[in-house]
Structure 1
Amino acid sequence: MTMPLPPVDLVIEARWIVPVDPADLVLENHAVVVDHGRIIDLLPQNEVADRFAPRARKRLAQHVLIPGLINLHTHAAMSLLRGLADDLPLMQWLREHVWPAEARHVSAQFVHDGTLLACAEMLRGGITCFNDMYFFPRAAAEAALATGMRAAIGLITVDFPSNYAADADDYLDKGLAVRDQLLEEPLLSFCLAPHAPYTVGERSFARVLTLAEQIELPIHLHLHETAQEIDDSLQRFGVRPIERLGRLGLLSPALIAVHAVHLNGHEIELLAQHGCSVAHCPSSNLKLASGIAPITELSARGVNIGLGTDGAASNNRLDIFQEMRLAALLAKEQSGRADAINAHRVLRMATLGGARALGLDACIGSISRGKAADLCAVRLDDVALVPCYDPVSHLSYVLGREHVSEVWVAGRMRVENGQLVDNNEIGLIKRALLWQNKIRP
């Protein structure tokens, strides 16, 4: 008597699958088997019928299937400030435009609406997880959950008051309360998010470090973004920011150093020795003329690197495909070596690198048995995309977010045929226009 095959929720068959781990592997005509939101197998398509009874099947005949992309650094709600004040240096942009606009308008509703808008943009671009840093983190978390997106919610800390909190202790206390309330949400994780060395003092950093060690959270921090930041640190503290953080005990595997543009050889070695991660944001760094991060040297020293968009106010896109292309091309130019950061390496940064930085690599970042089924399918049947000799090369140098066809988060389809499954785009556009009228009448 023949035993019945085990039922499973979904089988996804694709022309190519790039699991990311193991590295440099491309599988042809394979299938991913998904049940209860997790990947339970990865096998040749011709073996599926003998092993599983899927309740649903998705055939991706001319697609490449990859892990969901991870946006390792963004300020999601700032989508509502996209294009507000372009073509300015960072500190002038912040002090004269962004910070005043935030003081006038940022609220829980602003954060909720701006994050909803950002999630829609990111999901359509194949991003299944984002690492956020902004005010009113509960509002951001609720927006992410409403869209079914995975998010690492930053518990922001600065030493000056805002519409959200009065002082550093108030920021941390409110953030920790949000974490306690939402700790059981499977799509949410949390980071401590002291904004930057120039906005956070020693006492606040000391509390952040204590909390990070007690509750084992990553520390998400802007660091060495501009030359001015370093000059100001030398004047105020007598040392460069990384050395200051080292003296405070903040250099560790928990640290996600955002930007890390202006690094000398000793600082690269420090980040490597302490197991720190870097969130590389090439578009934002170029647009603000901050510089180009030395990711070839960082990678050579074994520093874990993920890719981030920064906020839509300083990019102005939440597009990890764009960041992959720029990261690879800039590394080649900066190092003078065409093989400095290859296509497989930059895809790994956009997926498993971000997962490792967030401490989520056991759950996401690769197409591996036991991990969450966070997946992105990209079409390759467009006239501008053929022929395709190497799908990973196409991912890094040819494809764009407009070619994303399907996206799953924890096994649930969130994008189908390039459109949001829970399509409320008209409502999102109306919300954005209402905010535009308030911010710039």
Structure 2
Amino acid sequence: MNHAFTAADLANPRQLLMPQWLLLKDGPVAGHAVLVEHGKFAAVGPAAALRELYPDLPALDLPHTLLMPGFVDSHHHLTQAFGKSLVFGEPSEIFRRIWVPLEGQLDQRHLYLSSKLAALEALRGGFTTVADAGTRSDASVDAIARATTEAGVRCVLGLICNDVNGAATVAEPGAIADRAARHLALWDSHRLVHPSLAVSIPEAATDAMLQRVSRMCAEAGRVFQTHANEHLVAVERSLVQRKLRPIEHLHRVGALGPQALLAHATLVTPGELKMLADTGTAVSYNPVASAWKGNAVAPAQLMATFGIRVGLGTDGTRSDGFRLLDYAEAAQRFAFGIAAGDASCGGGAAWLDHATYGGADVLGLGQMTGEIAAGKEADFLLVDLDVPEMQPSWDLSWELVRLANRDQIQAVFVAGKLRLWQGWPVDWDARALMREVGDAARAAVAAAPIQKIHEFSSAPGAQS
């Protein structure tokens, strides 16, 4: 690990940083610097020019270091952190047998602890922004906002607006809409929390609610989140109930549009791709989720080629930005590239863009974060390049996608403030949180009516 500078060197709220490499939206450049001021990038340009413009400001040299945008997780479930490996090796629709029962047991304290643990994991993996798709707990999402703010990660905070459970209506539509409006207003001007509305899956809401919630997000300039076309059973269930596939259903009721973000979209027809492109709807591509419990891989490269906006999401699987990049490219190769003789599947730079600026764009935050540019929020990473894996360097973009590791992340900044140094928070006790989470998670899981299909792999006879 590069020790040419320390956490104390990075504590100044106004500082001129001079890395060896700077990752701009158009690619990596050497000999450039950034001025961080009031939590934003005040200036970005050639190092010599910035030194001349700011002669009285000490410049911090960052040798063997890349300064790059923080990763953006465009689809997460922060309140599922207590479960993690409970779902490993389980059949696809784990939300019905594990996540809904578990989240239903979570109280306000559980939401806070789970979300803060997930936020810590995200920061350790290089994510400076995470989008929470909404919790099924009855506790207030204020606990999620408090946890992510204390941890220091930027959060798109989803509020579930389901009004159907099977054949039953679960709440009065007017009450749901009023609650949604309060949520949008409450967090409208927060520095780190950005409100969003969500419906778990299209069948969990009436057509009127889908249309209403999506329209509310469009009018507020916020994102409407839902899961769509993830599993075969979900597609078939929608066909049986409505004679439409999920994305067709969303299109029919007017819920698609630039404000809509569909998680997964792995099973899509040409007609559905055209619906997404024509309406400006965005997609969160979750390649690790496809590998761990999916029926298919979203054609993310094809989507991007057709002008569909694509971000990368973890789906709460594993908060490791560099491994997510690797999976994103590899999944496209295995699912589509090999059969077509496509050895690059978009190239390294494309996946870096989907993981940073593209992710911010699909979350409606493209004017705020996702790239190193003057006026944008200073959400960035300092990555150590002085490691064997990155030497010799010929194509830094490709190398970041296929060779870089989480342990190279020296520092994580959000809104210009140092949040993590060498993997650990600088202003709160992460190990104390971990101890508290252990006891709380065991109690919550024990109380939840979870149905696992497979025994734990360590159980007697489980391997057979």
> What is the TM-score when the length of structure 2 is the normalising length?
0.86
What is the CA–CA distance in structure 2 between the aligned matches of 1:86 and 1:176, rounded to whole Å? 37
What is the CA–CA distance in structure 2 between the aligned matches of 1:101 and 1:211, rounded to whole Å? 29
Q: Contact (CA 8 Å) 1:8, 1:33: kept in 2 or not?
A: no
Structure 2 counterpart of 1:29:
31
Structure 1 counterpart of 2:452:
none
State the 1:332 CA deviation. 2.3
* Amino acid of the structure 2 residue aligned with 1:199: A
> Does residue 243 of the first structure (1) align with residue 275 of the second (2)?
no
Q: Compute the RMSD of aligned alpha carbons.
A: 2.0
Q: Contact (CA 8 Å) 1:127, 1:320: kept in 2 or not?
A: yes
Higher deviation after alignment, 302-311 or 213-222: 213-222
Structure 2 counterpart of 1:402:
407
Higher deviation after alignment, 330-339 or 371-380: 330-339
Structure 1 counterpart of 2:157:
153
**CA 243–176 in structure 1, closer or farther in 2 if over 3 Å, else same:** same
Q: Contact (CA 8 Å) 1:403, 1:418: kept in 2 or not?
A: no
The SS at the match of 1:198 is helix
Structure 1 counterpart of 2:71:
69
What is the CA–CA distance in structure 1 between the aligned matches of 2:244 and 2:164, rounded to whole Å? 23
**CA 114–57 in structure 1, closer or farther in 2 if over 3 Å, else same:** farther
The SS at the match of 2:186 is helix
Superimposed CA distance per residue, residues 119-143 of structure 1 (whole angstroms, 9 cap, x where no aligned partner) = 1111122111111122332111111
**CA 294–54 in structure 1, closer or farther in 2 if over 3 Å, else same:** farther
The SS at the match of 1:155 is strand
What is the CA–CA distance in structure 1 between the aligned matches of 2:290 and 2:177, rounded to whole Å? 28
* Amino acid of the structure 1 residue aligned with 2:108: A
Structure 2 counterpart of 1:102:
103
Q: Contact (CA 8 Å) 2:276, 2:282: kept in 1 or not?
A: yes
State the 1:55 CA deviation. 5.2
* Amino acid of the structure 2 residue aligned with 1:354: G
Q: How does 1:289-308 map to 2 (within 5 A)?
A: 289-308=294-313
Q: Contact (CA 8 Å) 2:39, 2:377: kept in 1 or not?
A: yes
State the 1:266 CA deviation. 1.4
* Amino acid of the structure 2 residue aligned with 1:159: D
Q: How does 1:40-439 map to 2 (within 5 A)?
A: 40-53=42-55, 57-91=59-93, 93-103=94-104, 105-135=105-135, 136-159=140-163, 167=171, 169=173, 170-311=175-316, 315=317, 317-333=318-334, 334-336=336-338, 337-439=342-444
What is the CA–CA distance in structure 2 between the aligned matches of 1:38 and 1:343, rounded to whole Å? 27
* Amino acid of the structure 2 residue aligned with 1:278: V
**CA 166–426 in structure 1, closer or farther in 2 if over 3 Å, else same:** farther
Q: Contact (CA 8 Å) 1:364, 1:371: kept in 2 or not?
A: yes
What is the CA–CA distance in structure 2 between the aligned matches of 1:56 and 1:86, rounded to whole Å? 50
> What is the TM-score when the length of structure 1 is the normalising length?
0.91
Higher deviation after alignment, 151-160 or 337-346: 151-160
Q: Contact (CA 8 Å) 2:285, 2:312: kept in 1 or not?
A: yes
Aligned residue-pair number: 423
Q: Contact (CA 8 Å) 1:63, 1:377: kept in 2 or not?
A: yes
What is the CA–CA distance in structure 2 between the aligned matches of 1:339 and 1:293, rounded to whole Å? 17
The SS at the match of 1:90 is coil
**CA 63–107 in structure 1, closer or farther in 2 if over 3 Å, else same:** same
* Amino acid of the structure 2 residue aligned with 1:126: G
**Structure 2: gaps spanning 5 or more residues:** 1-11, 447-464
How many percent of aligned residue pairs carry the same amino acid?
Answer: 26
Q: Which runs of 4+ in 1 moved over 4 A?
A: 53-57
The SS at the match of 2:419 is strand
What is the CA–CA distance in structure 2 between the aligned matches of 1:310 and 1:414, rounded to whole Å? 23
Q: Contact (CA 8 Å) 2:286, 2:312: kept in 1 or not?
A: yes
Superimposed CA distance per residue, residues 21-40 of structure 1 (whole angstroms, 9 cap, x where no aligned partner) = xx3x2211211111111112
State the 1:395 CA deviation. 1.1
